[in-house]
Amino acid sequence: MHSLFSRLYPVVPGNARITAENEIVVGDYLFPKKTLFHLCHYAVSYEESNFPDPQTFLPQRWLRGGDDKIKQHPFGSVPFGFGIRACLGRRVAELEMYLLLSRVIKHYKIRPDPAGKTVKPITRTLLCPATPINLQFLDRRALQEEERATA
């Protein structure tokens, strides 16, 4: 799930780097020194050539050793960067997310608000929801007690 959401809604929608010291050749293209490169994670995440049917929920995209038909490019989604400039806090951020989600899901059933609407993202340095995300948190213990009372 983490890979899916960080692909569709990356916290940082883009990264930029400058080639400072030398010109470089990539494929048949020459880039002079001090060229600014910008990677838009958000656009790459929805690119059909990287992720066929990008809007569809396909968790099997992320399985190792899975079907070759759904293998994506290893750099098709790099929400925390890569190499020496990768995010130092990646592992801490992922562990905090897993811990928080596991605790919330243990105690609550989470459902979208029935009156809710589609929430679109906007960029404000970071990617944010354009409108509030309304969810219902239903206490699992209360639901179990209700089920026992009606059984």
pLDDT higher than 70, residue 3: no
| pLDDT, tens only, 5-17 | 677 777 777 878 8
- The contacts of residue 23 (CB under 8 Å, 6+ apart) are 30, 31, 32, 33, 35
Write out the DSSP string of 75-140: TS--TT--GGGS-TTHHHHHHHHHHHHHHHHHHEEEEE-TT--PPPEEEESEEEESS---EEEEEH
pLDDT band for 26, please (50, 70, 90 cuts).
confident
| pLDDT, tens only, 40-50 | 888 888 888 88
